[in-house]
Structure 1
């Protein structure tokens, strides 16, 4: 099977001190470390496992600037045969709708049995690019996939539901799946492994290659506009409980009861 994986180059923000640029309604990304989106990393591994079992090849596709090449190189060091970078400043930043249209135009240049995306991107968490891309490509799709089994010309998949429940579905190929974290254990890639694929050629596309002059042409323009960005207000109070251990314990019990922690 020939598989296309969409991977996003995102900033790592979990432990970073984030600063806002109010006039641009954006984060200051200058000092942040970028890497492959976590959900997309699991999608790459899922694709590689399928081709190792059933044959075929994996192509990884990313929309971003030249720095997104690092994400493509990491995926190629894992085992992806080909990397495609859509590098055109007039096409980013967009929303999930325009991104799906741009990715779909690149995807249509190839022929794929399966398209995989991460469930969501860690920088915006909107989780709508994958389903929108499936619609642009006219593919059956499902989301939050935690297990994939190929049976002939179909895929038997399990997807995560709320409350710890799972749903089992069968989809005919070709189709699109969005992959949940935990579906597998992504393989380790050494620095030396990434260096080995540095000289491997990438296919680089721009707006002209995709028949686009800018975001206004992609999906007929943006459908989501960011109008404000604020850091959450941090509030904290400390009550010092005085008295003997027995008195402190009784005050604590009374406070927990008042807050609904004890019934």
Structure 2
């Protein structure tokens, strides 16, 4: 069953240096099935982050449609978008975006408090904290944590509302290799538990954890790669080969 459907998406910007229009997205068309772990890869400037921002309703496409289940995101009124993002989408960013004035516990609770939906919040937190290895850190503050620990807190905050889809923008970009591996393994476990994940990355290693990779170049999806029965190592090799072939040996 398709959870997310993107139809002929286009996004144009006006150049800051001239009146010319820049096509960030030219014609993007794909679907994400419920429970799928999909990665979007591409070089800097390929349009992958613009695509994620449009799906996240943080940016509006110039043309095309985006559906999450039966909801046409482009038809939603601006005043309803914040509540929609809070209730249906989970976000994990490269730079964590935690509030240093709040404890780990309160950072994770924040989406529930904003939604005025605190029923059962302790049970939800206890389960997440155990799964994320945060049980002993709940009373600490973000500035007391390592980068990997902060990202786990950010993931907890994203998952506490049980979102339809988890949107991740370069979630390992600020982490060392060990913490990055821990976060990617955590995403894999979330996926195994049924969470739908859409992740933007430039890292082949990060993408190798997904069961499908979409390659974006010059504002279009020009190739996709399915995991099938490949191991992570085999998927990594296949991704690197695809990047090398499809980018003319520049990857």
TM-score, normalization by structure 2:
0.28
Which structure shows the bigger proportion of residues in helix conformation? 2
* Bigger relative contact order, structure 1 or 2 (CA pairs below 8 A, ≥6 apart): 2
Q: Which structure would you say has the larger Rg?
A: 1
TM-score, normalization by structure 1:
0.27
